[in-house]
Homo-oligomer: A and B are copies of this chain.
């Protein structure tokens, strides 16, 4: 009897620290900890041992005292749920040291249960009528400005050719610029600029909000004419992003912001890889663009880690479309050529403070930003 288990499996790859014996013990532990949560001897049913237990597909050294384990799980134990996939990939073992989730590979039957990004890279290009070049993005800030001041900034940025004008992710329901007033004013300001320029700039408000309110905020954003939304899946939950990306009434692109997710990637020995967290998981959960801190800015990601995120945004995942890597974080205009060389054309350049500090002339700064990117 197989009790309905059909034998199809998906694979998670883990980086394990320790000597070979330690690494094997960790891999064997993952097989139980992430499934039955019982010692081997206490599980007597053959079909559970055969199907429900995780299975070590391979265990190979990758460096001194570093091993790579590929562990497979029955597709049925996830039951098509993103939340349960997160749990099987990294739930309890997040609490054990020396285990890092590097990547996952899902068979088509599982991937098809996920819609992934509604637009992805190609869809977002089409909506914005930008077939080839990199996209320009900036943020409305600082927190504390009044809604009409943020809208004035949005108008300026749109006039100056910035494609995506997003809320700073810290803009929430502050009394200085409450969500509804802010979204209405900023969306109108960008529409007005578009009328004047013939452009297609969009405004993306931050809809991260307490559970039960994100959806209403998303629909409000759409109603007011926002062209996309910003969400922090580390705060709201990756599953909220998936809900929005799948919804039939809400249909805007989603930009994923990495706030509160840093602890997953602080250590090479623990947590989740940049590739998997910001690339694969964001995509599976429906982000159309993955914002992350660029190397050499005010955060600490390395160039290799940023490369890994780009790969996670692009890697073959069946029906799940590629998305835009969106480097950000204290970039100044002088570094745009370097970023251009590294990221190529399939990228959104998110520059906030740098667009204001280059000179006191916002129009000139935006023009310079566009020239730097377009001339290459």
Which residues of A does B touch, CB under 8 Å? 3-4, 29, 33-39, 41-43, 45, 47-48, 51-52, 76-84, 86-88, 90-97, 139, 141-146, 168-170, 172-176, 208-212, 215, 232, 234-237, 239-240, 242-243, 258-267, 270-272, 293, 298-301, 329, 352-353, 356-357
Is A83 in contact with B176, judged by CB distance below 8 angstroms? Answer: no
Residues of B within 8 A of A97 (CB): 266, 300
Query: Which listed residue (B38, B96, B141) contacts A299, Cβ 8 A?
Result: B96
- Given A212-B243, A260-B86, also A170-B235 (CB < 8 A): no
Q: Which residues of B contact A232 (CB under 8 A)?
A: 83, 87, 91
A259→B35 contact, CB < 8 A? no
Once the chains are docked, how many angstroms separate the CA of A39 from the CA of B353?
Answer: 7
Tell me if B87 and A208 are in contact (CB < 8 A).
yes
Instruction: Evaluate contact between B237 and A236: CB separation under 8 angstroms.
Output: yes
Residues on the B chain within 8 Å of A3, using CB: 144, 146, 176
**A79-B174, A208-B83 are contacts. A36–B141 as well, Cβ < 8 Å?**
yes
Taking a contact as CB atoms under 8 Å apart, the answer to whether B81 and A173 are in contact is: yes
Provide a sorted-by-A list of 9 A–B residue pairs whose CB atoms are within 8 angstroms.
Answer: A37-B353, A42-B353, A48-B145, A82-B210, A91-B234, A95-B259, A210-B239, A212-B215, A263-B263
Is the Cβ of B36 less than 8 Å from the Cβ of A96?
no
- Copies of this chain: 2
Of chain B, the residue at the smallest CB distance from A240 is B211
The residue on B at minimum CB distance from A47 is: B144
Identity of the chain B residue whose Cβ is nearest the Cβ of A300 in the assembled complex = B97
Known: A91-B170, A259-B92. A235 touches B83 (CB 8 A): yes
Closest chain B CB from A319 CB (angstroms): 18
Kindly state the separation between the CA atoms of A94 and B329 in the bound complex, as whole angstroms.
13
- In the complex, are the beta carbons of A237 and B260 less than 8 A apart? no
- Residue among A34, A210, A232 with the highest chain B CB neighbour number at 10 A: A210
CB contacts (< 8 Å) of A264 on chain B: these are 263
Q: Is B42 a contact partner of A357 (Cβ separation < 8 A)? A: yes
Q: Is the CB–CB distance between B76 and A175 below 8 Å?
A: yes
Q: Complex: how many Å from CA A84 to CA B172?
A: 7
Q: Are B236 and A143 closer than 8 Å at their CB atoms? A: no
Are A95 and B352 within 8 A (Cβ)? Answer: no
Query: Cβ of A176 and Cβ of B4 under 8 Å apart?
Result: yes
Find chain B residues with CB under 8 A from A92 CB. Answer: 169, 259, 262
In the bound complex, residues from chain B placing their C-beta under 8 Å from that of A42 are: 142, 353, 356-357
B-chain residues with CB within 8 Å of residue A144 when the two chains form the complex? 3, 35-36, 45, 47-48, 51-52, 77
CB-CB under 8 A from A96, the residues of chain B are 262, 299-300
Contact present for B81 and A172 (CB under 8 Å): yes
Q: How far is the CA of A188 from the CA of B267 in the complex (A)?
A: 46
A85 to B: closest C-beta gap in Å: 10
- A77 & B357 in contact (Cβ 8 Å cutoff): no
**A272 and B266 form a contact (CB under 8 A):** no
- Is the Cβ of B142 less than 8 Å from the Cβ of A94? no
How far, in whole Å, are A232 and B51 apart by their CA atoms in the complex?
25
Instruction: A192 to B246: give the CA distance in the assembly, Å.
Output: 41
